[in-house]
């Protein structure tokens, strides 16, 4: 399996992260401020232009006060039953 920033799994994860941010009524700028990052960091993650490594992902979840396991479920659901 080749990991891709545009894979259905990554798209599911970034969509979920955006949804979690929006449910907390946070703008991208407000989340970026909490993170001590520029607005473009959050924007690129949510638009699928920047891939999060596992440590960044856990940190991102902590900032949003959500569990990383929830996002992993989103990825698992996006994985087809069989892959060639």
CATH of the domain at 22: 1.10.260.40
Query: Confidence class of residue 77 from pLDDT cuts 50, 70 and 90?
Result: confident
pLDDT digits (tens, 9 = 90+) for 20-71: 999 999 999 999 999 999 999 999 999 999 999 999 999 999 999 999 999 9
Helices (H), 1-84: 8-23, 28-35, 39-46, 54-64, 68-78
Range of the domain at 53: 8-78
What is the number of domains present in the chain?
A: 1
Whether residue 1 lies inside any domain: the answer is: no
- Nearest Cα to 75, choosing from 4, 8, 22? 8
Q: Which residue bears the tokens 């992260």?
A: 17
What's this model's pTM, rounded to 2 decimal places? 0.85
Q: Report yes or no on 69 lying in a domain.
A: yes
10 neighbors 51 (Cβ within 8 angstroms): yes
Kindly state whether residue 20 falls inside one of the protein's structural domains: yes
Q: Is the dihedral of CA 50, 64, 58, 37 positive or negative?
A: positive
């Amino acid at each position: 399996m080749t990991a891709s920033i545009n894979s259905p799994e990554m798209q599911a994860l970034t969509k979920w992260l955006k949804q979690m941010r929006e449910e907390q009524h946070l703008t991208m700028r407000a989340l970026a401020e909490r993170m001590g990052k520029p607005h473009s960091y959050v924007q690129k993650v949510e638009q699928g232009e920047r891939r999060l490594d596992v440590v960044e992902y856990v940190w991102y979840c902590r900032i949003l006060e959500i569990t990383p396991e929830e996002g992993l479920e989103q990825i698992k659901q996006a994985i087809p039953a069989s892959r060639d």
